[in-house]
Amino acid sequence: MKYIVLAIPFFFVLMAIELAWSAWSHRKVYRFNDFVANIGCGIGSQVVSAFMKTGIFTIYLFVYEHGRLFTLPSAPLTWLLAFLLVDFMYYWFHRLSHEINFLWAAHIVHHQSEEYNLSVALRQSWWQGLFSFWFYLPIALIGVDPAVIVSVAAINTLYQFWIHTKAIGRMGPFEWLLNTPSHHRVHHGTDPKYIDRNHAGTLIIWDKLFGTFQREEEEPFYGITAPLASWDPLTANFHYWRDLLRLAKRCRTWRDKFRVFVKPPGWRPDYLGGFDGPKAKDRASYRKFDTRASGAVHGYIAVQFVLLLAVTTVFLFEQERLDAGGQWITAGLIGWWVMNLGVLHEARRWALWSELGRVLFTGMAIALVLPIMPAPWNSIIAAVITVVSLAHAAFLIRRPSLAT
């Protein structure tokens, strides 16, 4: 069941409510460039997951059918046990993702935004699923049906959406047991005292039991200790891997090269300066990364973003109807699309030339691959989108600058 995909319309409704609260309370919690980057990362995550989900479920099923120690009935008590085990294993996966470099390289994407709002919940790594599912295999080994594991894991993920907000303060007794917005704001903080705290999914009790709990005090600085300084989801997903490889290349021994990937973030051998830990930021001088694309560029991005959402929605719901070639073509198109929107926000002129190619490719993909509408309407839609998008992009190319 596509629980996450089916919930996406509700996510956008809640984000609209949060945006209204932001305007009413005069607290600016959204920036357009950050929002598009967050959703772009989320789109890529869902597209990549669409290719991985069958293989991951097959592995769960193999372990369950050939290695399970017990056969647990499909009863309420089994679902409760599965919920507790999934939440417990999520805590350990999440905690280790902050303490081991190669896991952090997959998880870091979720922490890159310097804002804290509901769109940040959708900012997900494209590769994290390849690392996380191994933690849940023991649950299949003890005899929990894989369908139950996948369903409970999806519920755990859905729960975590609403805690990414500033609109809800402390929640009294609920905070004794449950993960809440206050607890999770701490987790996204880059302040030294907030780093690697509150790893819970649904139940905060794991952090309290294992010594990683931190109560929210002053509002955190959000993001990562060395800001990404880019709106491009491709850069977001690959930059830390690049950094690790560069550090490994500088290491003198194979032992240190290996340690780069299994040590905590910030680790370096002594001859390269030693551990580089998080540093406190100055509230008076700290400035978030920002760029100043023109209003015309913002208008183009807004139109293309809506079209991107439509194409992605069709792909996620109609993937099974596409052949392998159609799936890979559409996935590649979506990746190209989110990259272009990111670099356009950085006012990079080469992105417009990339957009011309991407727009033509999109028109062909809709006409030939994606079943948005029955023929001949599919071709008509493709032609209209292509002509309008090309005209809009050409208008921007003629402008002397993409920045304000």
Lookup result for tokens 């080469």? 350
62: in domain = yes
Q: Which two tokens stand for residue 188?
A: 């996204």
Q: What is the pLDDT along the chain (404 residues), one digit of tens a residue?
A: 577 888 989 999 999 999 999 999 999 999 999 999 999 999 999 999 999 999 999 999 999 999 999 999 989 999 999 999 999 999 999 999 999 999 999 999 999 999 999 999 999 999 999 999 999 999 999 999 999 999 999 999 999 999 999 999 999 999 999 999 999 999 999 999 999 999 999 999 999 999 999 999 999 999 999 999 999 999 999 999 999 999 999 999 999 999 999 999 999 999 999 999 888 898 889 999 999 999 999 999 999 999 999 999 999 998 888 999 999 999 999 999 999 999 999 999 999 999 999 999 999 998 888 877 777 787 888 899 999 999 999 999 988 889 88
Two tokens at 64?
Answer: 């369950």
Residues facing 293 on adjacent strands: 403
Is residue 234 assigned to a domain? no
In this structure, are 100 and 206 located in the same domain?
Answer: yes
Together in a domain, 8 and 104: yes
Number of domains, the chain = 2
134 and 8 within one domain: yes
Domain's final residue, options 176, 210, 244: 210
User: Is there a single domain that holds both residue 177 and residue 303?
Assistant: no
**Alpha helices of 68-100 — where are they, by DSSP H?**
76-99
Does residue 314 sit in the same domain as residue 198? no
CB atoms within 10 A of CB 386: 18
User: Are 21 and 131 part of one and the same domain?
Assistant: yes
Q: Are residues 48 and 154 in the same domain?
A: yes
| Domain carrying residue 48 | 3-210
Chain centroid to CA 116: 13
Residue 118 belongs to a domain: yes
In a domain, 46, yes or no: yes
In a domain, 311, yes or no: yes
Q: Are residues 179 and 55 in the same domain?
A: yes
Same-domain check for residues 24 and 151: yes
Residue 200 lies in a domain: yes
- How far apart are the C-alpha atoms of 315 and 369, rounded to whole Å? 10
Q: Is residue 124 in some structural domain?
A: yes
If asked whether residues 80 and 183 sit together in one domain, one would say yes
pLDDT value of position 100: 98
66 within domain boundaries? yes
> What number of residues does the chain have?
404
| Secondary structure letter of residue 220 according to DSSP | P
Q: What is the predicted pLDDT for the residue at 404?
A: 81
For residues 53 and 156, state if they share a domain: yes
Statement to judge: residues 61 and 156 lie in one domain: yes
End-to-end CA distance of the chain: 45
**In this structure, which amino acid lies at residue 247?**
L
Q: What counts of helices (H) and strands (E) characterise the chain? A: 17, 0
Residue 249 φ/ψ region, left for φ over 0, alpha for ψ in the -120 to 50 degree band, beta for the rest: alpha
Residue 163's identity, in one-letter code, is I
Instruction: Indicate the residue among 152, 181, 210 that finishes a domain.
Output: 210
Q: How far apart are CA 194 and CA 220, in angstroms?
A: 8
* Boundary residue ending a domain (159, 179, 210): 210
Q: Quote the pLDDT of residue 1.
A: 58
State the pTM of this model: 0.94
